[in-house]
Structure 1
Amino acid sequence: MFTKQAITKKLNVPSEKVWEAISKIGRLDVWFPFIETCKVEGDGPGALRYMTIADGGGDIKDTIEEIDPKKMKLIYLRPISPFPVTYYKGTVEVFTSYDGLGIVVWTIDFESKSEDSASVAEIIQSAISAGIDGMEKDLMK
């Protein structure tokens, strides 16, 4: 079953600063409470991001597909995931609010068995929301 899960939040941080942090593709271990380590190999499209989940929760590998500075958009594929999915694509976009602050729209497209889709969507919603909150706290320092 193909599912789209979008999480949107306006941050108290200028959009340019938000985009700069996202485009560097690292620091997920700082932003996401459940990510223990985050290591990046390479730059730009084709770069690989390796993460481990705390408490032996598994490994994650992302391949960066696109980084578009003009559109402030990052796309990654996740071929290795602890979730019961057969396909996982993340798109992170930053928009500028009328007051110059950043609005993050983080969309996950995934494919899973129909019986797993609701629980995976719930996990993604919770995890991405926590990560965006963590990013905001980090960028406000």
Structure 2
Amino acid sequence: MTTLRSHAVLNVPAAEVWEVIRDVARIASWFPAMSSSTGDDRHRTVVLGDGSTLEEDIVTLDDTRRRLQYRAVGGDLPVTSHLGTVDVIDLDADRTIVVYSTEIEPADLAPAFDAAISEAVAGLSGFLDRGSRRQAATAHS
């Protein structure tokens, strides 16, 4: 099994980051390689930018540990084994590290998954900043 890992330190409280990550049905809002996503706390469907779909079961959604795990169980890609894990860890009151790990087979899918996940994790800070600015503008309206 090929193992991938990306991480980012964000200048955002862990609770704010976790609210985004735990909203499993809306992953496409912050994950650039996805064009849409739907689902609930047990299952989600994502549509990738090329139109391919992935069906995923939510394995763990732990608000105490701020951990999300999901498994690809179907869709258009030839995934034979997959487990994604996202951990949101507070470093202090205003800083968080997000660690996104993936185990995947076959190995030839790993480079595409790695690039997409790395881009998504790197972009989380900007996504959260845009959300904070929108909320502030709404509050002042």
| CA RMSD in angstroms, aligned pairs only | 1.8
**1:139 equivalent in alignment to 2:139:** no
Q: 1:16 touches 1:102 (CA, 8 Å); kept in 2?
A: no
What is the percentage of aligned positions where both structures have the same residue?
Answer: 29
* Structure 1: gaps spanning 5 or more residues: none
Match of 1:32 in 2: 31
Q: 1:75 touches 1:91 (CA, 8 Å); kept in 2?
A: yes
User: Which letter does structure 1 place at the counterpart of 2:50?
Assistant: D
**1:127 equivalent in alignment to 2:116:** yes
Cα distance in 2 for partners of 1:60, 1:135 equals: 21
Cα distance in 2 for partners of 1:32, 1:70 equals: 23
Cα distance in 1 for partners of 2:125, 2:36 equals: 19
* TM-score, with structure 1 as normaliser: 0.82
Cα distance in 2 for partners of 1:102, 1:130 equals: 17
Question: Per the alignment, do residues 5 and 82 of structure 1 end up closer, same or farther by CA in structure 2, a change over 3 Å counting?
Answer: farther
C-alpha displacement of 1:78: 0.7
User: Which letter does structure 2 place at the counterpart of 1:78?
Assistant: A
Cα distance in 2 for partners of 1:102, 1:81 equals: 33
